[in-house]
């Protein structure tokens, strides 16, 4: 019987740092691509069409949440805990992929119905149909498998190549204002190519070949992932509905201003997702560990990371004028203000990662879900009021207040639910 290595030794051996290095190199590319692509698109398709593309991406993000259904958490955890058992890993691989294919069909039907009712006077409905490639690519790429097996090198290689392909396709084919309908299409094409390559890699390295499973096994995974799905949907409500709600009250140009500032914020925020994914598989092995080991992880990993994010956010705030000039091609006071307003949002989010992960690991999925639903409700209420009166500034203030509420709430819930693993007080050993 294989003995699991203690988490402390896991840190010493460098597994987490190795994962962070692999995913971090990918994230450098994820950080740089918006820095190159966004200014190009603003110049070629204009701020108004840039705002339209952002609205389509916000809608597509909801479809991505449906096809993912929380598998990046539930499937990653199952595979991480059974990584030595090829039969179990293979079963999870088949069941999750089959479930995602069913959900993919469902989301396409939903999008088709949405487009059929669409008013063509403002935006070409083909933008939304072409954007569905982004859903296909994300649904079929088994990133949860590689995270569970902690095989981050492959993710880095394939995702990097796919993003470069998408970037080149956009530079080559998106050359005039009306080409805005193809932007999301080419972003999705790169991900689809990555998914196709992943099937070959999974077969050659792990001997896993996808085989459809019975509908009963699909139901099992839908039931297992429902709490995480609702939580993710709630997160998506307060991260991607901002542009949609702003679009109800503000001109498209104002939506474009906010979209530029949000792109800058999200470039940093993506680092948080990579960090979460890199450390989560190893954190799943913390269930039976002592508080001392938990605090060691917090001090050695979470604290330095959060400080790094804080310095990065400070840099964005300090160089906001230069970033405004770079992204929009000219200095725009509105964009500069919004970049500064949103600059510290990633740091606020970084502070909730430890409590976020521990609530999931210790099985408090329903509590986690409820907390995020309350945050989403707060976001929607504030958004409709503040965006109506203050437009993009109101949207930015809503984002800050929502993230502060989520961070404080998650930490408070963890302290009450599992005081032995308190991150603030000396309880337990």
The string of DSSP codes covering 256-285 is HHHHHHHHHHHHHHHHHHHHHHHHHHHHGG
Instruction: Supply 73's token pair.
Output: 């958490």
The pLDDT, as a whole number, for residue 419 is 64
Distance CA 257, CA 129 (A): 25
Contact present, 380 and 335 (Cβ < 8 Å)? no
Q: Angle, nearest 10°, between helix axes 252-283 and 320-328?
A: 110
The total number of residues shown for the chain amounts to 429
3-state secondary structure of 208: coil
250 DSSP 8-state letter: S
- How does pLDDT run across 387-428, given as a tens digit for each residue? 999 999 999 999 999 999 999 999 888 888 766 555 555 554
pLDDT at 348: 95
Ranges of the chain with pLDDT below 50: 1-13, 428-429
Q: What is the pLDDT of residues 155-201, one digit of tens each?
A: 778 888 888 999 999 999 999 999 999 999 999 999 999 999 989 98
Q: At 129, is the secondary structure helix, strand, or coil?
A: helix
Contact (CB, 8 A) for 339 and 261 = yes
Q: Which of 138, 144, 152 is nearest to 192 (CA)?
A: 138
Per DSSP, 428 falls in state: -
pTM above 0.95, yes or no: no
Domain ranges, ordered by start, for the chain:
7-421
| 96, 144 contact by CB (below 8 A) | yes
DSSP-H helix ranges across 284-302: 291-297
| pLDDT score recorded for residue 291 | 61
Confidence at residue 276, expressed as pLDDT on a 0 to 100 scale: 80
Cβ-contact 70, 103 below 8 angstroms: no
Write out the two tokens for 334: 């509105």
């Amino acid at each position: 019987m294989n003995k699991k290595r203690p988490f402390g030794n896991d840190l010493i051996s460098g597994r987490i740092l190795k994962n962070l290095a692999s995913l971090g190199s990918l994230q450098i590319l994820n950080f740089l691509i918006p820095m190159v692509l966004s200014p190009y698109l603003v110049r070629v398709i204009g701020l108004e069409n840039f705002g339209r593309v952002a609205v389509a991406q916000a809608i597509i993000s909801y479809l991505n949440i449906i096809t993912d259904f929380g598998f990046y958490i539930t499937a990653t955890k199952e595979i991480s805990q059974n990584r030595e058992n090829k039969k179990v890993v293979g079963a999870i691989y088949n069941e999750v992929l089959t479930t995602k294919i069913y959900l993919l069909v469902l989301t396409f039907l939903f999008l088709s119905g949405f487009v059929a009712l669409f008013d063509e006077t403002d935006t070409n409905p083909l933008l939304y149909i072409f954007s569905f490639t982004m859903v296909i690519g994300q649904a079929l790429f088994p990133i949860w498998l590689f995270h569970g097996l902690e095989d981050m090198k492959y993710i880095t290689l394939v995702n990097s190549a796919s993003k470069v392909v998408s970037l080149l396709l956009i530079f080559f084919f998106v050359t005039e204002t009306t080409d805005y309908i193809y932007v999301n299409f080419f972003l999705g094409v790169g991900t689809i190519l990555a998914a196709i390559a992943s099937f070959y890699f999974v077969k050659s390295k792990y001997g896993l070949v996808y085989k459809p499973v019975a509908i009963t096994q699909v139901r099992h995974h839908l039931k297992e992932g429902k709490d995480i799905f609702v939580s993710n949907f709630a997160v998506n409500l307060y991260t991607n509905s901002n542009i949609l709600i702003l679009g109800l009250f503000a001109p498209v140009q104002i939506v474009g201003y906010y979209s530029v500032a949000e792109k800058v914020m999200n470039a940093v925020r993506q680092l948080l997702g990579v960090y979460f994914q890199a450390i989560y598989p190893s954190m799943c092995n913390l269930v039976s560990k002592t508080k001392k080991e938990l605090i060691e992880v917090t001090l050695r990993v979470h604290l330095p990371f959060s400080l790094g994010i804080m310095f990065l956010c400070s840099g964005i705030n300090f160089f906001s004028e230069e970033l405004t000039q770079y992204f929009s091609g000219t200095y725009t006071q509105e964009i500069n203000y919004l970049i500064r307003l949103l600059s510290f949002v990633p740091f606020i989010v970084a502070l909730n990662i430890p409590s976020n992960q521990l609530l999931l690991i210790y099985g408090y999925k329903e509590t986690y879900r409820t907390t995020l639903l309350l945050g989403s409700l707060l976001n929607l209420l504030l958004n409709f009021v503040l965006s109506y009166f203050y437009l993009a500034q109101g949207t930015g203030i809503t984002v800050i207040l929502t993230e502060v509420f989520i961070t404080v709430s998650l930490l408070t819930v963890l302290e009450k639910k599992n005081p032995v693993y308190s991150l603030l007080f000396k309880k337990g050993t």
